[in-house]
Amino acid sequence: MALPATVEGVPAVSGQVPLGIARTWARRLGRLAESTPALVGAGIIAFWATVAVLAPAIAPYAPNANNLAALANPAPSSAHWLGTDQLGRDILSRILWGARTVLTVAPLAVLGAAILGSLLGLTAGYFRGWIDLVIARVCDIVLSFPVIILYMIILAHFGSSAFNIIGVLTLTKAPIIARIVRGLTLELREREYVAAAKMRGESALYVMLVEILPNARGPLIVDMCLRTGYNVVIIGALGFLGIGLPPPDPDWGGMVKDTYGMMSVWPHMALFPCAAISSLVIGFNLLAVGLREIGLRD
C-alpha cells in the first residue's frame, strides 16, 4: 500500500515520526504474540517462506531429475523421504521448489487485486452517484461469472504463465476488495477529518489516499491474508486442471493432477502435495483470524 507520507511531497515536520519505520514494524510484529492463531499462522507461513527461499540449497535433488531406479518402488525411503512420483522425481524436492512459485504468485496476485480493488472502491465510495453505479455494475458482472470457466477461457487464450495467472487472479479478485473498500469509504468519507481536509482545499485524490485509505487498512489487511490463502487453493486447482504453471516446473496442483490416477496404489504421490497446499492455506487463514482478533481489541 502507498505510504501516506509519500503522496504529494508532504512536508516532513521534524519530530513527526517518533519511532523509526523499522521500530514501528517491530512493534506491530510484536503484537502478533497477542493472539495464538496469529502466531501459529505466521509460523506456518514463515516456515514455507524460508523453505521457498532456501529450496536450491536444501532440496536433496533437482526438481526435475528422474531417478529411474526408484520407479520400481516409489514409496518413501531413506533416499527419498517423501518418495518419488510416476517419473521417478523426488517429491520432497518438488514440493520445496513448488513453494517458490506458489509463494510468489499468490501474494503478488493479492497485491495486484488490493491495489486495483482499493482504487475502484475508493473512487466509487468517495464520488458515489453514477461513478459508483458503473463501478458496482462492472464488479457485479465480473463476480457473476463462474470463475473456473473464466480462468479456463482466459488462460487458454493467452497461454498459461505465472504472469498471466497473476493477471487473471488480480482481475477476478479486485471486485471483491473493491466492495469492501467501497463500504469502508462510504463510512469514512463522512468523518469530520475528511470535511476538515476538504475545507483546506485538498484534492479528491489526496483525500482518498491520505485521509481515507490508511483508516481502511485494518479490515483490508485481514482480507488480503484470507485471500492469499484462497489464491493458494485456486493456483492448486488451476494446476490440477492442467492450466497452471507450464510443466515440467514443479507446481503443487500439477503434482496432484499427474499422480491422482495412482491414488489407490501409491497415495503418497498426491497426498504430500495436497498436505503442502492445505498447510499453507491454513496458515493464511489462522493469520487472518488472529489479525482480526487483535484488530477488534483496539
Report in angstroms how near the CB of residue 175 gets to another protein at its nearest: 23
Site for another protein contains 293 (CB under 8 A): no
Which residues are registered as beta bridge partners of 84?
90
Give min distance, CB of 253 to another protein, in A: 39
Q: Is 57 in the site for another protein (CB under 8 A)?
A: no
Cβ 191 to another protein shortest distance, Å? 5
Alpha carbon separation from 94 to 30, 51, 184, 219, 279 (Å, rounded): 34, 12, 42, 35, 16
CB of 188 to another protein, least distance (A): 10
Its sign, for the CA torsion 229, 63, 57, 162, is negative
Exactly one of 148, 195, 205, 263 binds another protein (CB under 8 A); that residue is 195
Residue number with CB closer to another protein (4 or 267): 4
Residues 6+ apart with CB under 8 A from 251: 98, 101, 102, 235, 239, 244, 245
Q: Which stretch binds another protein (CB under 8 A): 80-88, 120-128, 208-216, 221-229?
A: 208-216
Q: How far is the CB of 17 from another protein (least distance, A)?
A: 7
Residue 20 touches another protein, criterion: CB under 8 A? no
Element (H, E) at 140: helix 129-144
Q: Does residue 14 interact with another protein by CB under 8 A?
A: yes
Indicate the burial class of 215 (C-beta count within 10 angstroms; 0-12, 13-18, 19 or more).
middle
Closest CA to 118 of 201, 196, 205: 205
Tell me how far, at minimum, the Cβ of 14 lies from another protein, in Å. 5
Residue 215 CB, shortest distance to another protein, in Å, is: 6
Which residue, 4 or 76, has its beta carbon nearer to another protein? 4
CA-closest candidate to residue 3, choices 219, 225, 295, 210 = 210
According to the binding rule CB under 8 A, does residue 88 interact with another protein?
no
Residue from 81, 145, 158, 193 in contact with another protein (CB under 8 A): 193
Nearest CB to another protein, comparing residues 33 and 156: 33
**Taking CB under 8 A as the rule, does residue 16 contact another protein?**
yes
Distance of CA 279 to the CA centre of its chain: 14
d(CA 255, CA 48): 18
Tell me which residues in 127-166 interact with another protein (CB under 8 A).
Answer: none
d(CA 190, CA 192): 6
Lookup: cell for 160: 498459461
Cell of 143: 463476480
Q: Which long-range contacts (CB under 8 A, 24 or more apart) does 46-55 make?
A: 48/99, 48/103, 48/279, 48/280, 48/283, 49/103, 51/96, 51/99, 52/96, 52/99, 52/100, 52/103, 52/104, 55/96, 55/97, 55/99, 55/100
Of residues 146 and 201, the one with the C-beta less far from another protein: 201
Q: Find the part of the chain contacting another protein (CB under 8 A) among 66-74, 78-86, 165-173, 197-205.
A: 197-205
Identified binder of another protein from the candidate list 211, 223, 251, 258, rule CB under 8 A: 211
Nearest residue (CB) to another protein, 61 versus 126: 126
Does 219 help bind another protein (rule: CB under 8 A)? no
Site residues, another protein (CB under 8 A): 4, 10-11, 13-18, 34, 191-193, 195-196, 198-202, 211, 214-215
